[in-house]
Amino acid sequence: MRHLSLTVILFTVLTALATAQQQIPNQVPTSVDAKVVLDAAGPKQRTALSAILLIVCPPSSAGTGFEVKAGFVVTNAHVVGTCNKDNLFGILNSNERISFTKIITDSRRDLALLIPAIPLRAIGLDLYTGADPVPGETVSTWGYPLLYNGATPLLSVGYVSGFRQAEGDTGGTVKHIVVNAAFNHGNSGGPLLRANDNEVLGVVVLTYHFHPPVIKQIIDAMSRDQFGMMYNFTNDKGERTQISEGQLTAAVLDEFYQTTQVMIGEAISVNELEMLIRERSADLK
């Protein structure tokens, strides 16, 4: 029974790894039924969809980005990851692949500004300049969750729950909008919009997971385990490698916790984005 369970676990992990690798688009994807999406968007947001991009950092990272009226694209720094202007690319909902000539990142805020190699034909989104949205206000985002690689983004709707001062990676705090909505991996970098409007309230950055910190510490410790029973498998580069029983168990637990959806997520406030744009205005010219 123990060996059967381990076999099932191993199959689950390797299937998940293989599926994730296959879903990262190495070529231009096929769009879903755009009419259905446009109907869901409503009159004002229909014009916004062409400004939302799938952002890809090969070989295995992807997220969402959006163009603003000034002509550059906004996403998260963690979506850009280790990529640079030579390998990062975006895909428009017209199935057109674009590259970028400059990438400006701010790791403290987890924001990135991307300069397209060619002007986009989309109508860029407006940044909201009014007072903070109130708890209970309906908001939405369009993006590419869970490595979905159709060209037309998917809709997620929720409401503002409150606000939080998050700790920045390099010190200081960053204003976040807490949202009750189904944000998933891949929604990162997408615009948080006022419902039925195309004004950006924030930039989607994370989704909450329900495991306590001690569980995460245990999973991290197990992932470093290189002893015990070893299993052979072929990685995404076609290389034969080994994974220990502890690492295998950690991978399964992490996959479970990462993909179990809790209906609370966060978006970086548009005020933080506006401050970054002002700070790096010279670089954006």
What is the C-alpha separation between 134 and 160, in angstroms, rounded?
7
Domains of the chain plus CATH, in order, are: 2-21+210-259 (no CATH), 31-208+262-284 (2.40.10.120)
Q: What is the pLDDT of residue 28?
A: 44
Q: What is the pLDDT of residue 240?
A: 78
The 10s digit of each residue's pLDDT in 228-243 is 777 777 766 777 777 7
Quote helix, strand, coil % in the chain, to nearest 5.
Answer: 30, 35, 35
Whether the pLDDT of residue 2 is over 80: the answer is no
Whether the pLDDT of residue 217 is over 70: the answer is yes
Confidence of residue 39 (pLDDT cuts 50, 70, 90): low
Q: What is the pLDDT of residue 207?
A: 65
* Cβ partners under 8 Å of residue 205, min gap 6: 76, 110, 176, 188, 266, 267, 268
Q: What is the pLDDT of residue 225?
A: 77
The 10s digit of each residue's pLDDT in 77-96 is 999 999 999 999 999 877 88
Share of the chain above pLDDT 70, in %: 75
Q: How far is CA 200 from CA 42, 74, 78, 125, 182, in A?
A: 16, 11, 20, 7, 18
The 10s digit of each residue's pLDDT in 94-106 is 788 999 999 999 9
